[in-house]
Chain A
Amino acid sequence: MSEVTIATAEPGALSLRALTKVYAPGTPAAVDGIDLEIHPGEFVTLLGPSGCGKTTTLRMIAGFEEPTSGELRLDGDLINKVAPNHRPMAMVFQSYALFPHLSVFDNVAYGLKLRKLPAPQIREQVEAALASMNLTPYAARAPHQLSGGQQQRVALARALVMRPKVLLFDEPLSNLDAKLRVQMRGEIRRLQRQLGITTVFVTHDQDEAMTMSDRIVVMNVGAIEQVDTPELVYRRPASVFVADFIGRANFLDVEVGQVGADDARITVLGREWSVPRHPDADGHGPATLLVRPESVRLASVDEQEDGGGVGRVVASMFYGESIEYEIETESGPLVVMVADPHDAQTFAPGDRVSVGFEASRAWLLPAATPVAG
Chain B
Amino acid sequence: MQYEAVVIGVSAGGLRALSEILNGLPENYPLPLIVIQHRSKEERTLLEEVLQAKCAISIKQADEKETIKGGTVYFAPPDYHLLVERDHSFSLTCDEPVNFSRPSIDLLFETASEVYKDKLVGVILTGANSDGAAGIQAIQQRGGLTIAQDPETSHFPDMPRAAIDTGSVQHILTAPAIKYFLLDLAKKTV
A and B interact: no
The chain B residues found within 8 Å of chain A, CB to CB, are: none
